[in-house]
Structures are given as structure tokens and as C-alpha cells.
Structure 1
Amino acid sequence: MFHFSNIVRSKGDPAIVEGGPSLKRPQDQLARALGWFSIGLGAMELLAPRRVTETLGMEGSETMVRAFGIREILAGIMSLSVDKNAGLWARVGGDGLDAAALLSGLTSDNPKKGNIALALLMVGGIAMLDYRAAQETKPQRPARTARRRLYPNRSGFPKGLEATRSGAKDLIKHATAGVAS
């Protein structure tokens, strides 16, 4: 049976015959999806700010939209990293900035305030997802009653410190014997 993952494997690696269940937790998958969404949205804001401002009737705010795009991209990259929780909280904060910026364009003389209202609804929905993902991916601390593990007898040397010392002495003896002859 052909498995897509076998394409990128080296010749000596065993072939993948069957895939198993994903080890990614649902909250990790949500964080990943939000990270990629953030990068896509940020790229659009960075590369096409005039299109965004025209759609919202907020012409003249292109610099702000570009800055928001950079913020989105960075938050997206952080959401895809090992420290995804910081990236998700950055997204939550960014949602607040987005809402504030959109509210500033919700004026009576803006002919596209319907688009702004729709954008506010979308930001609100995404903000709820961001908040949920940030809550679910926060680092877990051990319970106060959990027993702390201490390793006072470990040296970091698999065969012990004495075996390492004697190995180093032997290495020095062989190295200096070759120099002396």
C-alpha cells in the first residue's frame, strides 16, 4: 500500500505501512489552525492594505493595517511554535486592537459600516476561539501535593563518574605515549 509519508523518507528508513492515531491533542490542532489563519490574514493585511481599507470604508489607514499585518504574522508564528500559549495570548490582545480599530470606523458618514459590523462579528468569533485555545494550552503546573522528584545520586554520566575519570586518564595516557615516542 502506498503511503504519502514514504516519499520524504531516506532509503534506509523502514516504509510506513499504516498510520496510527494522531498524538496531537485537539487544543494543539486548534492552536495550529489559528496560527496558520493568523499568518494568512497578516500576509493579506501586509500586502494588500488598500483593499482592506477600501472594503471597510477606512481609506487612509493603510499604515495601521500593515502594522496589524506584521503583528498577526508574528502572533501566528508564535502560535505554531513550542510556546504556542504566548502566541495565542498575543492573538487575544490583537483581537482587542482589531475591535478598537474597527469601532473607530463605525461612524454615521461611513457608507460601508455594514462591512465593519460584519468584521466586528468575525473578530468577536475569532476572539472567542483565541481565548479558548489560550486557556486550554496554558502550561500545566504540578499540584501542590505532588511529590517533587530529586535526583541527588545522578551525575549525568551513564557509567558513573569513576568510569568516566578512568576513561579520560586512559585517553590522556595513550595521547601522551604517542607524543613521547
Structure 2
Amino acid sequence: MAYYRRDSAGDALARGMGWFSIGLGAAELLAGRRIARWMGMEEHAGLIQAYGAREITAGIGLLAMGDPKPWMWGRVAGDALDIATLATGLRDDNPRRDNVRLALGAVVGATALDLVCAGMLHREEAAAWTPPPDYSDRSGLPRAPEAMRGAAKDAPIPADLRTPEILRFQKAGSP
């Protein structure tokens, strides 16, 4: 289990990417055919809908699971699939390849953000695992205990720290 701060910048970015994944996934799932038509890639409508389900799963994982790193790397892998699929729409016979370029630019931007977030999460975890300094060889005393033994035997005791006269034990036979 990872022990990084839950309020870290990497975690906040991962949560944001989780919500983005759910929104994008819902759009792909519900409007996959329309998106495919907009890009001139009607033959990939079912694939786009499947990618939507993948995005929703990654988003839920980022929001609900304890360690977002595997889910963030899942987003990066999904982005690679998206880029490969979009690259097939850049063919010369696609009259809507400018729309594909636009979508490709958005996916490349999201991929860069995913990679930045994954790197932040790994750095934060590494910092959290840094062992604390070892002070086991220190006593907290200014000198070694042997050198301090008896050092205060001749120290004057202030009146307010002495036992009051009325409470002191009397020697036998004294009034």
C-alpha cells in the first residue's frame, strides 16, 4: 500500500483526471456513433464506445481506490490505444481528417497531463518512504551520563524548593 499524503498535488490532479475520465467516458459511451461520424471514422463507432467504458472504469478507479498510480498508468495505456486508433483516421481519403487532428491533439495533451500526474504520484510516494533521521546514538544529555554523575551534589537548593521546616523530620529527643 502506498503511503503518500492524500492531499498532495499529485493526488488532487489524479482526482481531477478521474472526473475528466468519467465525463469523457460517458460522452464516448453515449455518443460514440456521433463522435465517429464527426471524425469520418464510422467503422470505429463500437470501438469508441468500448473506449468510453474503459475511461469510466479508469475514472472510478482514480476516485475510489486508495492508490491512484495503477489507474493513472491505465489511462496512459488507454491514451496510447486512442492515439493508435485516431492515427487510422488520418488517411488521405478521410474528408474529416482535420477533426481527427483536433481529437489527436486533445488526446496528446491529456496523455502529457497523465504522464505528469503519474510522475508526481511516484515522486510523492518516494518522498513518503524516505526513512526518518536516525538519532539512536544520541542521549539528549549535554555530556555522557558518567561525566554528569554527581555534578549537582554541591549545587545550592533555592528556598522555595526546600522542604518547609514544619515538615522536616526531627531527630529523636529534639523538641
Deviation at 1:143, TM superposition (A): 4.3
| Correspondence for 1:73 among 44, 56, 61 | 56
Q: Equivalences for 1:29-68 in 2 at 5 Å?
A: 29-68=12-51
Using the TM superposition, give the Cα deviation of residue 51 of structure 1 relative to its aligned residue in structure 2, in angstroms: 0.8
CA contact (8 A) 1:75 1:91 kept: yes
Give the length in aligned residue pairs. Answer: 125
Asked whether the 8 Å contact 2:18–2:58 carries over to 1, the reply is yes
Cα deviation code 1:132-166 (max 9, x no counterpart): 1011112337348977xxxxxxxxxxxxxxxxxxx
The alpha carbon displacement at 1:25 in A equals: 2.1
- Structure 2: gaps spanning 5 or more residues: 1-5, 135-175
Q: Residues 89-143 of structure 1, C-alpha deviation per residue, up to 9 Å, x if partnerless?
A: 1001111000000001111010110011111111111101000101111233734
CA distance in 1, matches of 2:132, 2:9: 28
Report what 1:159 is aligned to: none
Aligned to 1:26: 9
State how far apart, in whole Å, the 1-side matches of 2:131 and 2:88 are. 46
Residue 142 of structure 1 corresponds to which residue in structure 2? 129
Q: Which has the higher contact order (CA 8 A, sep 6+)?
A: 2
Higher-Rg structure is 2
Instruction: State the alpha-carbon separation in 2 of the partners of residues 144 and 28 from structure 1.
Output: 22
**Preserved CA contact (<8 Å) 1:56 1:116:** yes
Q: Does 1:92 align with 2:79?
A: no
**CA distance in structure 1 between the aligned counterparts of 2:16 and 2:27, rounded to whole angstroms:** 17
Partners of 1:126 and 1:48 in 2: CA distance: 20
Shift of the 107–29 alpha-carbon distance from structure 1 to 2, 3 Å rule, reads same
Give the structure-1-normalised TM-score: 0.64
Q: Percent identity?
A: 44
- Structure 2 length as normaliser, TM-score? 0.66
Is 2:93 the partner of 1:106? no
Does the 8 Å CA contact 1:77/1:87 hold for their aligned counterparts?
A: no
